[in-house]
Amino acid sequence: MRLLQVLVSAVLLPAAYAVSRTSPPSGAVVVNPSATTGQFKTLTSAVAALPNDNSAQTIFMFPGTYKEQVLIQRSGPVTIFGYTENTMDFTANTVVLAHNASLQTSASDDATGTLRIKTNNVRLYNLDIRNDFGVAETNGQAIALSQYGSNCGAYACRFFSYQDTLYANQGTQVYLKSYIEGAVDFIFGREGSAYFSGNTIATKGAGCVTASGRETNDTNLYLFESNNVVAAADASSNITGETFLGRPWGGAFHFLLDIILQVNMFGIDFAKVVFKNTIITAPLDKAIWSEWQSSDPRTDNILFAEFNSTGSGVSGASRPSFATVLTSSQAAQFTIATTVGSDWATWVDTTYL
């Protein structure tokens, strides 16, 4: 009888978590394309209306495509909920935040971002965030989410672009049960520590999933645990054998200085990316991992590591010398706590783990 109860609970538990969220929580600021009195038509205006203090604030967004670029930088915590019939399923998302910008017309990568977070304690639920400039191979850098905050989380969200989709640049972050799509260096950043679990990571063209740009031997890393790496539904034909889990992000300015001084002084070769228990069906290059470029590999001090990678995408893999296959004891050292802090349970929504 006890065993039966355990089995029933195991079956029913996910369903219990998969609830709808179709009305604003009490006290929430409301965003609605058909705004009535006391509501806002844009997320930008709703964020601007929040008090500039340390109070926790909630925003609820009704279905629609909101074409705007949004910056969140107030000091207090912000939670944004998107209308959904299933909080655990990103395919049920009905709220889209879309913008069109690239580095060709912007001052920096960050400035291209559709949603830019420059504060701590921001939580996103059931939002689709797109940069519509980054939908073709030749378009260049175009960020969907630019993340500079600590203790920030994205839950059952979707992020779309082509190059530089997710800029996990600073702070501690988690991305859980979400969808992240791109082709070139589409999860990247310098100083951020980010934990990814239960996500679908979809590559749609030749390039690298990650581009870690750590410049010093600090503790920051990207840890991917129990994700699926797939080919996007509309992936281009050049994806086969031209996709990698990651490369160390270089940086043209520092590279030019190195050439001038004829010495690698600036040390942009501390990339640190770990994949654990990953199912990979995207048709990766047999090397799995890539150097920055042949004339400037940037692989001296990096950690590109895997444990228990399975699936057709890693069949027949022949990893380079700078890649590491972890033992089970080595892999156990990389956890959500070692990635985003021992206090992670105080700010991460554990429902999504």
How much is the pLDDT for 251? 52
Tell me the average pLDDT across 160-169: 96
Nearest alpha carbon to residue 177 among 250, 226, 114, 232: 226
Convert the pLDDT of each residue in 10-37 to its tens digit.
333 444 477 999 999 999 999 999 999 9
Mean pLDDT, the chain, as a whole number? 90
Is a pLDDT exceeding 60 seen at residue 195? yes
How much is the pLDDT for 105? 83
- Residue length of the chain: 353
Q: Is this prediction's pTM over 0.85?
A: yes
CA-to-CA dists, residue 69 to 41, 130, 167, angstroms: 14, 10, 15
Token pair listed for 78: 């912000």
Convert the pLDDT of each residue in 109-159 to its tens digit.
999 999 999 999 999 999 999 999 966 555 689 999 999 999 999 999 999
- Any catalytic annotation for residue 185? yes
Q: Alpha-carbon dihedral of residues 116, 117, 123, 127, nearest 10 degrees?
A: 0
Convert the pLDDT of each residue in 258-280 to its tens digit.
444 444 444 458 999 999 999 99
> Measured between alpha carbons, how far is 169 from 208 in angstroms, rounded to an integer?
17
> Measured between alpha carbons, how far is 88 from 167 in angstroms, rounded to an integer?
23
- 3-class DSSP state of 313: helix
Is a pLDDT exceeding 70 seen at residue 162? yes
Residue 9 vs residue 67, higher pLDDT: 67
Q: What are the structural domain ranges in the chain? A: 64-74+89-352
Convert the pLDDT of each residue in 73-121 to its tens digit.
999 999 999 999 999 999 999 999 999 999 888 889 999 999 999 999 9
How much is the pLDDT for 262? 44
> Measured between alpha carbons, how far is 211 from 246 in angstroms, rounded to an integer?
6
> Measured between alpha carbons, how far is 223 from 191 in angstroms, rounded to an integer?
14
Instruction: Indicate the DSSP class of residue 238.
Output: G
How much is the pLDDT for 104? 85
Is a pLDDT exceeding 50 seen at residue 349? yes
The dihedrals phi and psi of 30, each to the nearest 5 degrees, come to -110, 135
* Measured CA angle at 129 (ends 127, 131), to 5 deg: 170
How many CA atoms, within 13 angstroms, populate the side-chain half-sphere of residue 174?
A: 30
Contact 267, 215 (CB under 8 A): yes
Tell me the average pLDDT across 221-238: 96
Convert the pLDDT of each residue in 196-212 to its tens digit.
999 999 999 999 999 99
Handedness of CA 212, 213, 216, 219 (dihedral sign): negative
Contact 83, 126 (CB under 8 A): yes
Alpha carbon 260 to its chain's center: 35
Contact 281, 229 (CB under 8 A): yes
Reduce the secondary structure of 318-349 to three states and give it as a string.
CCCCCEEECCHHHHCCCCHHHHHCCCHHHCCC
Is a pLDDT exceeding 60 seen at residue 5? no
How much is the pLDDT for 168? 98
CA-to-CA dists, residue 159 to 134, 236, 256, 288, 335, angstroms: 11, 18, 33, 23, 24
How much is the pLDDT for 138? 57
Alpha carbon 103 to its chain's center: 19
CA-to-CA dists, residue 31 to 40, 87, 114, 159, 266, angstroms: 5, 18, 17, 20, 46
Topology of domain 64-74+89-352, per CATH? Pectate Lyase C-like (2.160.20)
**Which listed residue (109, 128, 164, 185) is catalytic?**
185
